[in-house]
Amino acid sequence: MDKAAAARRIEELKREIARHDYLYYVLDSPEISDEEYDALMRELRALEEAYPDLRTPDSPTQRVGGMPVDEFEHVVHEVPMLSLDNVFDLGELKSFCDRVSRALKEEVSYTAELKIDGVAVSLIYEDGVFVRGSTRGDGRVGEDVTANLRTVKSMPLRLMKPVSGRLEVRGEVYMQKKDFAELNAQREEEGEPLFANPRNAAAGSLRQLDPSITAKRHLRVFVYQAVNAVQRGLKSQYEVLQWLKGLGLPTQGTERLCDSFDELTKYIDEWREKRFALPYVTDGVVVKVDDLAKQEILGTTAKAPRWAVAFKYPAEEKRTRVKDIEISVGRTGALTPVAILEPVRLSGTIVQRASLHNEDEIRRKDVRVGDYVWVRKAGEIIPEVVRVDKEARREGSPPFEMPKECPACGSSVVRLPGEAAHRCLNRSCPAQIKEGLKHFASRSGMDIQGLGEKLIDQLVEKGFIRDIADLYTLSEEELASLERMGKKSAQNLIRALEASKNRPLANLIYALGIRYVGSRVAELLAENFGSLERLMEATEEEILQIEGIGPRIASSVVSFFRDEANRRTIERLIALGVKTRLERPALEKDVWRGLRFVFTGELERATRLEAENIVKSLGGQVSSDVSRKTSYVVVGKNPGSKLERAVNLGVKTIDEDSFWRMVEEAKEG
Ligand code: IVH
């Protein structure tokens, strides 16, 4: 393809991909499969690799995150980013509306919108192309987080309709409840501190100095304001929202024009419970004078506009009683105390249990059996005890003590130095085996359809399973003998077990239940080692070479595979037919093991993909970004910013000829 044709195709692909991003991330109604989408991205990436100067900042390939920065640049907001005054009940809202009517000497209409609990951002588009994004900061000066915002998939890098000149829009970057819960689960798995709520998670992710981390955090954005909208002929807030939506910007879509205080009340009451069913956290309703000209007349104070107010729903905290504190035993033997609560309705569901995490947490909050406590849900999902109502405590109630023996198997419990958890060290503890099996069979693991909790309990209790590998020795007759299992479901389960033997390597690594290895880390390990056999022999140093894996994980992986019992289980899994290889170019030689290559610019003697496969076939690795861990940056014609970064980091650069010479030597050597 010549350059002109490539340029045309690149434009076409960019538009097409932007449209599919919009359909997927904003409208939530994709038209094509993930595979088809990936194919479009691959084609675009290949064309941009071949013609690096055709790569522009609004290309979807640029969402992966660019260079890390040392600190954020400051951005002065042309129009200050104000905050909102809050009202906490309908009476206070009425006073606000009365104040507005008095000042304007007439009744006015309002738009009501939900208040998203996220982080305020300003987005600037020049001639329809996203050029800069910043945080609110102190309202006058914010931080430049452009590179991070580019990774937010619901944010258009180019508007769907041409808008001339400079357009500044404002909105909220947020994280969906499920993404927040998943992120925290992953952090817990990896031993990282948890985020208190989706807002903190969003703020923390947006303010990452390395945009490639932000890119993995599933942030989203809603816009709700256009700065200087009047100059563009817009007359009302309601119109602004429709206009923004028409430009392909994600608006929240629950706005309503309200002609009276009564209608505002209706909106607020309607969403009071309904909001819990939304995929993101809302903490109130923003009420805005609809007419932009009237907004200008009302003006602002130093802190907040006089034309808008935030109605805050009462914080979802309820008082209830701790009936008991139970101990659950996890798959790694960790004992987790769980508060069993008098049932209470919270953020849309009935809550009866809340994790108390570990001994230190219980001590800190001093939760005791029989206590009255305040509970809430982090991110509207995860129930937690906030504090104890000490006044209401029954006299003489003893502080909670962690048990000395495992409630599941009776072995003695230890708290190892440097750990928060108490552990049962008995590897044959039935609770650990059950939890290990659940983990093994889970979606991100071997994804064994039909192997649910009840069935696992029976299998372990009946002694059919003592070790995960036993799963693959179960017979149809054994299964059919269990409660609530007919011949048919036994056959189905055997089939599901058979199918699970071919899961991708990353799933298998995750399924093994190595401490600190969640699905993200499993993915990295699979990608870098290519087979379970190789991972089993890996040293800590080798594992530490992988970006995103630290010493705690590396040491946990190595000690897991050093363990005799674990090795035996794995040998049995392999003997029973479980696949342990990543499908990838056949390894011809292993001479480049540990070497990491990055390519930039056009190659003359092969396509990028061919060159990458050659590196892999010699045991080396290829990454898309230059870091200190990169061994060589191969510089082709018209290199991109990776060259600059390599030079800055002092990473060795070689030209194409040297690369091929190295390949020859490696093949001969
Ligand atoms: S309008 C002049 N609309 O709430 C300020 N803000 O507590 C105009 N927020 O800083 C803000 N959802 O970050 C507006 N639909 C919405 C909002 C919203 C969330 C945030 C925003 C603002 C904060 C004020």
Report if residue 482 sits inside a domain: yes
Which among 289, 286, 284, 315 is positioned nearest to 300, based on CA atoms? 289
Supply φ then ψ for residue 75, to 5 degrees: -130, 125
> Are residue 265 and residue 220 in the same domain, yes or no?
yes
Nearest atom in ligand 1 to 82's CA: 2
Mutation pick for ligand 1 pocket among 85, 87, 116 (CB with most ligand atoms within 8 Å): 116
Nearest atom in ligand 1 to 172's CA: 13
Helix axes 34-50, 3-21, angle to 10 degrees: 150
Mean pLDDT calculated for residue range 616-637: 87
Select, from the ranges 498-512, 600-614, 618-632, the one with the highest average predicted confidence (pLDDT): 498-512
Distance 476 CA to ligand 1 centre (A): 59
Q: Please tell me the residue having the least CA distance from ligand 1 atom 13.
A: 120
Report if residue 424 sits inside a domain: no
Distance 312 CA to ligand 1 centre (A): 12
Identify the sign of the CA torsion 332, 336, 342, 346: negative
Distance 318 CA to ligand 1 centre (A): 27
Q: What's the chain's average pLDDT?
A: 92
> Are residue 80 and residue 173 in the same domain, yes or no?
yes
> Are residue 467 and residue 351 in the same domain, yes or no?
no
DSSP state for residue 158 in the 8-state scheme: B
Mutation pick for ligand 1 pocket among 83, 168, 170 (CB with most ligand atoms within 8 Å): 83
Mean pLDDT calculated for residue range 294-308: 96
Mutation pick for ligand 1 pocket among 117, 168, 172, 268 (CB with most ligand atoms within 8 Å): 172
Provide the pLDDT for residue 582. Answer: 72
pLDDT-based confidence at residue 435 (cuts at 50, 70, 90): very high
End-to-end CA separation in angstroms for the chain = 37
pLDDT at 565 over 80: yes
Q: Please tell me the residue having the least CA distance from ligand 1 atom 12.
A: 115
Mean pLDDT calculated for residue range 340-354: 94
pLDDT-based confidence at residue 278 (cuts at 50, 70, 90): very high
Q: Please tell me the residue having the least CA distance from ligand 1 atom 16.
A: 115
Provide the pLDDT for residue 585. Answer: 54
Q: Please tell me the residue having the least CA distance from ligand 1 atom 17.
A: 115
Query: Between the CA of residue 274 and those of 114, 172, 221, 262, 283, what are the distances in Å?
Result: 11, 21, 21, 19, 12
Run of H or E residues at 294: helix 292-298
pLDDT at 190 over 90: no
Provide the pLDDT for residue 212. Answer: 85
Identify the sign of the CA torsion 8, 9, 14, 16: positive
Nearest atom in ligand 1 to 304's CA: 2
Are 311 and 268 contacting, i.e. CB atoms less than 8 angstroms apart?
yes
- Residue 285 CA to residue 309 CA, distance in Å, equals 8
Domain that holds residue 55: 3-62
pLDDT digits (tens, 9 = 90+) for 206-243: 999 988 889 889 999 999 999 999 999 999 999 999 99
> Are residue 172 and residue 299 in the same domain, yes or no?
yes
Supply φ then ψ for residue 416, to 5 degrees: -75, 150
| pLDDT above 90: percentage of residues in the chain | 72
- Residue 147 CA to residue 145 CA, distance in Å, equals 6
- Catalytically annotated residue among 3, 14, 105, 115: 115
Q: What is the largest CA-CA distance in the chain?
A: 89
CATH number (domain holding residue 650) = 3.40.50.10190
Provide the pLDDT for residue 65. Answer: 67
Whether residue 177 lies in the annotated active site: no
- Residue 167 CA to residue 201 CA, distance in Å, equals 28
Nearest atom in ligand 1 to 115's CA: 12
Report if residue 10 sits inside a domain: yes
> Are residue 140 and residue 272 in the same domain, yes or no?
yes
Structure tokens at 21: 């991003």
Report if residue 582 sits inside a domain: no
Query: Between the CA of residue 575 and those of 29, 459, 533, 537, 580, what are the distances in Å?
Result: 44, 21, 13, 18, 11
Provide the pLDDT for residue 66. Answer: 66
Q: Please tell me the residue having the least CA distance from ligand 1 atom 2.
A: 82
Provide the pLDDT for residue 520. Answer: 86
Are 229 and 240 contacting, i.e. CB atoms less than 8 angstroms apart?
yes
Domain stops at, among 312, 336, 352: 312
Distance 243 CA to ligand 1 centre (A): 18
> Are residue 43 and residue 84 in the same domain, yes or no?
no
pLDDT at 584 over 70: no
Mean pLDDT calculated for residue range 360-386: 94
**SS3 sequence, 604-640?**
CCCCHHHHHHHHHHCCCEECCCCCCCCCEEEECECCC
DSSP of 340-391, one letter per residue?
EEEEEEETTEEEEEEE--SHHHHHHHT--TT-EEEEEEETTTEEEEEEE-GG
More confident residue, 537 or 212: 537
- Residue 536 CA to residue 178 CA, distance in Å, equals 33
> Are residue 236 and residue 269 in the same domain, yes or no?
yes
Nearest atom in ligand 1 to 225's CA: 1
Supply φ then ψ for residue 545, to 5 degrees: -65, -20
Report if residue 591 sits inside a domain: no
Distance 308 CA to ligand 1 centre (A): 9
Provide the pLDDT for residue 84. Answer: 95
pLDDT digits (tens, 9 = 90+) for 447-506: 998 999 999 999 999 999 999 999 999 999 999 999 888 889 999 999 999 989 988 899
Number of H helices, E strands in the chain: 24, 22
- Residue 298 CA to residue 288 CA, distance in Å, equals 11
More confident residue, 517 or 193: 517
Are 10 and 58 contacting, i.e. CB atoms less than 8 angstroms apart?
no
Mutation pick for ligand 1 pocket among 77, 206, 224 (CB with most ligand atoms within 8 Å): 224
Place of tokens 């400079």: 166
Mean pLDDT calculated for residue range 8-20: 93
Report if residue 322 sits inside a domain: yes
Query: Which of 74-88, 121-135, 407-421 bottoms out in mean pLDDT, i.e. has the lowest?
Result: 407-421
Half-sphere CA count of 163, side-chain side, radius 13 A = 25
Place of tokens 């889970």: 442
Distance 83 CA to ligand 1 centre (A): 7
Identify the sign of the CA torsion 653, 658, 660, 661: negative
Q: Please tell me the residue having the least CA distance from ligand 1 atom 18.
A: 115
Place of tokens 């020049």: 126
CATH number (domain holding residue 561) = 1.10.150.20
Supply φ then ψ for residue 374, to 5 degrees: -95, 130
Distance 114 CA to ligand 1 centre (A): 9
> Are residue 37 and residue 98 in the same domain, yes or no?
no
Provide the pLDDT for residue 242. Answer: 97
Place of tokens 């969640």: 518
Structure tokens at 639: 């290199």
Run of H or E residues at 135: strand 129-135
Place of tokens 């003997």: 575
Mutation pick for ligand 1 pocket among 110, 113, 115, 168 (CB with most ligand atoms within 8 Å): 115
> Are residue 325 and residue 261 in the same domain, yes or no?
no
Reduced DSSP (H G I as helix, E B as strand, rest coil) percent helix, strand, coil of the chain, to 5? 40, 20, 40
Distance 55 CA to ligand 1 centre (A): 35
**What's the order of all strands across the beta sheet hosting 86-87?**
86-87, 308-312, 282-289, 110-116, 256-258
Q: Please tell me the residue having the least CA distance from ligand 1 atom 10.
A: 83
Provide the pLDDT for residue 169. Answer: 98
Distance 263 CA to ligand 1 centre (A): 21
Nearest atom in ligand 1 to 119's CA: 13
pLDDT at 304 over 60: yes
> Are residue 520 and residue 651 in the same domain, yes or no?
no
Domain stops at, among 312, 337, 362: 312
Nearest atom in ligand 1 to 120's CA: 13
Which among 139, 149, 215, 376 is positioned nearest to 281, based on CA atoms? 376
Provide the pLDDT for residue 225. Answer: 97
Provide the pLDDT for residue 626. Answer: 85
Nearest atom in ligand 1 to 113's CA: 15
**The residue type at 578:** V
b/e 74-98 (16+ beta carbons within 10 angstroms → b): ebebeeebbebeebeeeeebeebbe
> Are residue 349 and residue 379 in the same domain, yes or no?
yes
Report if residue 588 sits inside a domain: no
Ligand 1: residues whose CB is within 6 Å? 82-84, 113, 115-116, 120, 172, 224-225, 286, 305, 308, 310
- Residue 558 CA to residue 541 CA, distance in Å, equals 10
Are 52 and 602 contacting, i.e. CB atoms less than 8 angstroms apart?
yes
Q: Count other C-beta atoms under 10 Å from residue 234's C-beta.
A: 18
> Are residue 486 and residue 602 in the same domain, yes or no?
no
Number of domains in the chain: 5
pLDDT-based confidence at residue 635 (cuts at 50, 70, 90): very high
Distance 23 CA to ligand 1 centre (A): 25
CATH number (domain holding residue 366) = 2.40.50.140
DSSP strands (E only) in 227-333: 256-258, 282-289, 308-312, 318-329
**The residue type at 470:** D
Burial of 615 (0-12, 13-18, 19+ CB in 10 A): buried
